[in-house]
Structure 1
């Protein structure tokens, strides 16, 4: 079943919502700045080239995607995909405010970009944007022109737990540094070099120890700002009379835990899609001990639809503990529903994952030598079974919480479909048989929009 739709705007049933005080109100320090037109492109400082590593010894039998004949011979034919079932009713109308948290499948934004196209978002649409503190992280693509991050910053993803992740930003990840001179710069224009946002709000954690930063807007001389507000969630708001193009922040003294950016425009439209993807993330990021801290970042967002896209990284654990995963998912979904009690919610289960085989296995088949010796030891469905179990748990937990569920695996065709997607032209599956190509993510977005009844074809 690729899609299960239930009544949405209801109280959580089997997963009772937690009670917590009203979300904390971030302390806001506003700095009036002067924006300039025709700002040059943001140029990042060139880093010293990395020391060359010794060449690795070539693998005489490298891993590769199994050939079709190998898949037929080694696959467990009992693992057939479940038949897709149509949804019972549409989710909120496309002109909605949407937030989605996920892993590397979301971080590159190919899925969300295509989903926006399916929603017929006008090319000139301007949205208020809430950006996570994942700038500069490999595999991340943000809806702004460019970001430059100095090497002194470290990432604190909430899914890893621990004290450092107790108070995360809206994307459930922080960037932190205590090294004077650490800098980060953003070109917040779109890909057409058009500036749209008059207010750039830097989200951070105020500690008892003040921090001093240098702020430069659109190439102007740096202004020194002392951050010494009430400890807790805080905002340094840069406000201009016209849209801002670039912001540069340099740490002069003290600690800095950056939570992200909030870009606000006077002419923002009604549709907004905030994407919070982080490579390697799991749904455990939604288990922060300070839920009121997390909720503080969403006071003005009023999402109509919230979604969680996780499961691939959980499925890599060996052995996979289904009961432990269920407990984590239940707590995470309960927290999500507590922060957004009036929003519809969707859980997106992972796609199929394949297993690479030694090159000799494929070559043996091509030469007609019969079964390769290693073939019987290769379980091509080891991840497919785990991902199917994750999908089953998500359906049950989602049903108890009043959330819809949508399965990437079932949208692909069920267990074993990773191998078929890898052989498509153009390929829909990446060569690692874990991730997908741009075309693959776009296919998911089209299927998702169709199942949500957000397309003209689905509405017929």
Structure 2
């Protein structure tokens, strides 16, 4: 009995000691081998954003470095981008949350650093673009429109307790209707008129911003919530199921106004997974579309650096002799074609390319990551778990910082 009692006390003490250890993944996982040095091809394409980050690190200026990621569900979920945002802000300063869709685009929408609530507020998600292609009039880069047809309808953003205040509030919209914007005890009435984008500056340290429709019809394209300080803001604008064709479908007039107002230092294109599941993918047409969108973004945001996130590994169910542990899953055949096109276009056009597929472990890594004791992929072998998103977002951050340190060393380490 004494031996049992001693063992019980030892177990309780061990449990108490373990309870004091902060939670972390059960084990660390090194990134996979890459076709690019340190995961990143053409890092020189990022010199412009590295210059901006160096100024922020030196605490020079008042404008946050704006990083804008446009993509599919991996971007919409804000878990990978959330890790990248938090890591960059920890080093370079917290410049704010960035651009958000003007409402709740889908059930389960849960962006990091901010809570979103609506009352009588109508949000329309643009349908996915078909192969014939089209331009969705009045839809900007968020892929979402909020139509204020009911006076009194409201959209509310509340910042998390440790997030910076919503000092600068940016809005882009169209239509004759007016919005009442309230930031804690301050309020403004916004009439977009000919400008179509408005910027408001709040005093104090507001924790909440509420938009309330006053009259008539108004179409709101986006909401931007930032700080006024050196640092980083990272906007994640993703649509579930989207492809690069959906970016091409965004209204040119709205996109031009948004990019002029946002002035991103870096635009990240994070498409490719959905194209990879298209068994009839036309590689030449896809390449032409990708080149066209890079050209378009360079024309509309000439000061921005550009980076492509190569399509990640993702598995299809119902195959025979697949590479998964159960033999029933394998990568969609077009994914390799998509990555090849992305890498060639990036090299030819001077765009940075991050080898997501290699860094997560290569072919069938989605199955291996899903089979871990702490799964890094969901059962669908397409999307990352929260722990996996934190890991791969950390890998992306580390690869970017490796390139930043090399750039800093070449230029002499500082201003």
Q: Which TM class, normalised by the smaller chain length?
A: 0.7 to 0.9
Alignment of 1:41-190 (within 5 A): 84-86=35-37, 87=40, 89=43, 91-92=46-47, 93=50, 94-95=53-54, 96-119=65-88, 121-122=90-91, 125-127=94-96, 129-133=98-102, 135-150=104-119, 152-157=121-126, 160=129, 165-187=136-158, 189-190=159-160
Please give the secondary structure, in 1, of the residue aligned with 2:84: helix
Matched, 1:242 2:204: yes
Q: 1:241 to 1:154 in 2, by over 3 A?
A: closer
Within 5 A, what are the aligned runs for 1:382-421? 383=332, 385-421=333-369
Moved more, 159-168 or 299-308: 159-168
Cα distance in structure 2, aligned partners of 1:456 and 1:227: 42
Q: Which residue number corresponds to residue 18 of structure 1? A: none
* 1:23 paired residue number: none
The residue aligned with 1:56 is: none
Distance 1:457 1:128, change over 3 A: closer
Deviation at 1:137, TM superposition (A): 2.6
Please give the alpha-carbon distance, in whole angstroms, between the structure 1 residues aligned to 2:369 and 2:406.
Answer: 24
Q: Residue 175 of structure 1: CA displacement? A: 2.5
Q: RMSD of the TM alignment (CA)?
A: 3.7
CA–CA distance in 1 between the matches of 2:190 and 2:95? Answer: 32
* Larger RCO: 1 or 2 (CA < 8 Å, sep 6+): 1
Secondary structure of 2:402's counterpart equals coil
Residue by residue over 1:359-391, the C-alpha shift from the partner in whole angstroms, topping out at 9 and shown as x without a partner, is: xx99xx99xxxxxxxx8xx6x3351x2111110
Q: Kindly tell me: are residues 143 and 321 of structure 1, through their superposed partners in 2, closer, same or farther at Cα, counting changes over 3 Å?
A: same
TM-score, normalized by length of structure 1? 0.66
Residue by residue over 1:155-206, the C-alpha shift from the partner in whole angstroms, topping out at 9 and shown as x without a partner, is 233853888833333434322343444332222x2343x661333233212x
> Cα–Cα, structure 1 residues 437 and 289, in superposed 2: closer, same or farther, change >3 Å?
closer
SS of residue in 2 equivalent to 1:434: coil
Check whether the contact 2:92–2:231 (CA below 8 A) recurs between aligned residues.
no
- Aligned match of 2:267: 306
Change (3 A) 1:239 1:158: farther
Deviation at 1:427, TM superposition (A): 0.7
Contact map agreement 1:127 1:269 (CA 8 A) in 2: no
Decide which of 227, 243, 254 is 1:265's aligned counterpart. 227
Kindly tell me the number of residue pairs found equivalent between the two proteins: 354
> Displacement, 1:217?
4.2
Query: Which of 191, 196, 206 lines up with 1:227 in the alignment?
Result: 191
Alpha-carbon distance in 2 for matches of 1:340, 1:159: 24
Residue equivalent to 1:204? 173
User: Quick one: distance in 1 between partners of 2:391 and 2:122?
Assistant: 35
1:425 matches 2:373: yes
Residue correspondence of structure 1 range 329-408 to structure 2 within 5 A: 329-357=290-318, 380-381=329-330, 383=332, 385-408=333-356
**Between Structure 1 and Structure 2, which shows a larger proportion of helix residues?**
2
Assess if the C-alpha contact under 8 Å between 2:139 and 2:250 holds in 1.
no
- Partner SS, residue 121 of structure 1: helix
Instruction: State whether structure 2 residue 278 is matched by structure 1 residue 317.
Output: yes
The match for 2:15 is none
Q: CA–CA distance in 2 between the matches of 1:102 and 1:270?
A: 23
Measure the CA separation in 2 of the matches of 1:295 and 1:182: 28
Q: Over residues 95-117 of structure 1, what are the superposed CA-to-partner deviations in whole Å (9 max), with x where a residue is unaligned?
A: 55422111111222221232244
CA–CA distance in structure 2, aligned partners of residues 356 and 114 of structure 1: 29
Q: Distance in 2 between matches of 1:104 and 1:174?
A: 18
Mapped to 2, the partners of 1:273 and 1:228 lie a distance apart of 25
Summarize the Cα distance change of 1:197–1:327 in structure 2 as closer, same or farther, 3 Å threshold: same
Matched-pair contact (CA < 8 Å) for 1:107–1:277: yes
The verdict on how the C-alpha distance between 1:269 and 1:316 changes in structure 2, with shifts beyond 3 A counting, is: same
Write out the 4+ residue segments of structure 1 that deviate beyond 6 Å after TM superposition. Answer: 161-164, 455-460
Q: CA deviation at 1:253?
A: 3.3
- For the residue of structure 2 that corresponds to 1:400, the secondary structure is helix
SS in structure 2 at match of 1:345: strand
State the match for 2:27 in structure 1. none
Using the alignment, how far apart are the partners of 1:356 and 1:151 within structure 2? 40
CA contact (8 A) 1:312 1:387 kept: yes
Q: d(CA) in 2 for partners of 1:181 and 1:324?
A: 46
Secondary structure at 1:452's aligned position in 2? helix
8 Å CA contact 1:167, 1:288 repeated in 2: no
Partner Cα distance (2:399, 2:209) in 1: 40
